[in-house]
Structure 1
Amino acid sequence: MDIELRGAAAAQGWPAPACRCASCNRLRAAGVRYEPFDAAIDGVALDGLPRTDVPGGYEVRGPGGGFALVASGPGAEPEPPPGTEYEAVLLDLAGSPEHLGRLRSAGAVTDGTQVVAVHVDHRLPSPSELERRLAFWTRPRPGPFRTLLLGGGRSGKSAEAELRLAAYPDVLYVATGPAPGDDPEWAERVAAHRLRRPAWWRTAETTDLPGVLGSATGAVLVDGVGTWLAAAMDETGAWDDPSRVLPRLDDLVSAWRGTAARVVAVSDEVGLSLVPATPSGRAFRDLLGLANQRLAAESEEAALVVAGRVAELG
């Protein structure tokens, strides 16, 4: 199935006329413009192909018999009939990359399906950022493969972790933090994370990370290493004697090294925070720094997230 993109942008194009956002200005300054979405399949324009409407888009049959699913516009999430499998899907990945994961989980998108991003616009910072994300979404890596994402508080590291796994058909989200209890601020944070995650992801609330990593085979998102360490220190009484938690850290690193899963883990970069005023705080900082170093040494990828922007670490 030969897909020719004659334009890939939303209806106004990218950059949008008179728009002063950084994304549009960046393209304008570079003399780059993406025309509104238009495509041909096997040399025939989409408008000239047999079409069947589905919620959020339509299906088309190419002259060579290939079957494709097309999103109708920005924000649209086309829903195929049950049991349908496509040779190609043209989707709004800028707005709904997780929809690709849902199509994969339903069997509509397979390893042989062409995945094309359409309706692109200034919801993306730049074309290079689109290419970076497409590498995660169109060619999801199987396990074993480990990524450690580091960042300060509110840096965007959790959102980056979710973005990297958005297009996987099945993701286990491992929440290592405590239950909200009577803390309304913590409950609000937990609720925001839940709303941001795709509804079909599975969730495990546990501090047994070695057990999860030892048994998982699909995609796993761990959020995060710092809350796991705090729980491990509680359980081992390590606040007064940090050495007590080291066997737990050894177990985690061993499981991280031996996992068969595709794992993305989030952790706090302790070098970005103030020096703790208490001995227990300094012990936690030192142990988390050690954990980050040991996990990074056993990771195929590591990255630092600052203000929502990502710097890959060699």
Structure 2
Amino acid sequence: MTKPSKKRVILVAGPARSGKSEWAESLALASGKSVIYVATATKNLDDSEWMERITQHAQRRPASWQTWEVPVDLAATIESAKSSVCLLVDSLGTWVANLLEYDRTQWQEILKELLEIIENCDCDVIFVAEETGWGVVPAYPAGRLFRDRLGSLVREVGAIANPTYLVTAGHVLNLSQLGSPLNNKE
């Protein structure tokens, strides 16, 4: 009798247009499981450039993959997934942007719930996340809030995930093999 495989949590982080979504898609395909693409973006028919980006992502995915649009309720989506699936969450940055209106206390509760569910979920989950903190500190409060929340979230997910990848300039680095994790307490 074969032992059931343990769920995997994978983080794929990197800058814009680096290839991180494509790498995450290849990992999902290699999982051998039914893939559910969890799109955190919301469609905006008035923004043709945004819709073109969404279309490009959709055209790369196999027709057999399901797509769920989940702009906010990410924790509940992960919690409800069966062990036979691989969720590909693209992206954490868009999800954070969708929640910027929440105050610090609400955000901390949402974050705590999400991290607990990631730790205890039954399915494979691949997260795509933008690395936005490599530049200057934004000059406006909403930009700083977004950057700080996303940076902290990526670090927290990175502490759970194995492996964690950095994709930049079209190259993939396995940070779990090349690096050493920091103590996750800031």
Contact in 2 for aligned 1:162/1:197 (Cα 8 Å): yes
Supply the AA of the counterpart residue of 2:114.
L
Aligned-residue offset at 1:293: 0.8
Supply the AA of the counterpart residue of 1:233.
L
Aligned: 1:152 with 2:152: no
Q: Identity over aligned residues, as a percent?
A: 38
Supply the AA of the counterpart residue of 1:223.
D
Q: How far, CA to CA, are the matches of 1:166 and 1:197 in structure 2?
A: 9
CA-atom RMSD, angstroms? 1.6
2:120 is matched with which residue?
A: 258
Deviations 1:28-83 (A, max 9, x none): xxxxxxxxxxxxxxxxxxxxxxxxxxxxxxxxxxxxxxxxxxxxxxxxxxxxxxxx
Supply the AA of the counterpart residue of 2:74.
L
Supply the AA of the counterpart residue of 2:18.
S
Distance 1:230 1:142, change over 3 A: farther
Aligned: 1:188 with 2:52: yes
1:307 is matched with which residue?
A: 169
- Answer 1 or 2: higher relative contact order, Cα 8 Å, separation at least 6: 2
Select the residue among 199, 208, 220 that pairs with 2:63: 199
Deviations 1:274-303 (A, max 9, x none): 421201111111111110111111112111
Q: Structure 2 regions of 5+ residues with no counterpart?
A: 177-186
Select the residue among 88, 93, 111 that pairs with 1:226: 93
Select the residue among 278, 285, 288 that pairs with 2:147: 285
Supply the AA of the counterpart residue of 1:209.
L
Deviations 1:198-251 (A, max 9, x none): 0110111012111111121211100011111111223x2x3xxx4431111111
Number of residue equivalences: 169
1:296 is matched with which residue?
A: 158
Bigger radius of gyration among the two? 1
Aligned: 1:249 with 2:111: yes
Aligned: 1:215 with 2:80: yes
Aligned-residue offset at 1:142: 4.4
Q: How far, CA to CA, are the matches of 1:278 and 1:271 in structure 2?
A: 14
Contact in 1 for aligned 2:100/2:145 (Cα 8 Å): no
Q: How far, CA to CA, are the matches of 2:6 and 2:47 in structure 1?
A: 37
Q: How far, CA to CA, are the matches of 1:204 and 1:247 in structure 2?
A: 24
SS of the residue aligned with 2:11?
Answer: strand
Q: How far, CA to CA, are the matches of 1:243 and 1:286 in structure 2?
A: 15
Select the residue among 154, 176, 179 that pairs with 2:43: 179
1:91 is matched with which residue?
A: none
- Structure 1 ranges of 4+ moved more than 3 A: none
Q: How far, CA to CA, are the matches of 2:168 and 2:55 in structure 1?
A: 23
Supply the AA of the counterpart residue of 2:97.
A
Supply the AA of the counterpart residue of 1:219.
C
Q: How far, CA to CA, are the matches of 2:141 and 2:100 in structure 1?
A: 14
TM-score by length of 1: 0.52
1:9 is matched with which residue?
A: none
SS of the residue aligned with 2:133?
Answer: helix
TM-score by length of 2: 0.85
Alignment of 1:96-111 (within 5 A): none
Supply the AA of the counterpart residue of 2:80.
S
Distance 1:257 1:307, change over 3 A: same
SS of the residue aligned with 2:93?
Answer: helix
Aligned-residue offset at 1:270: 2.2
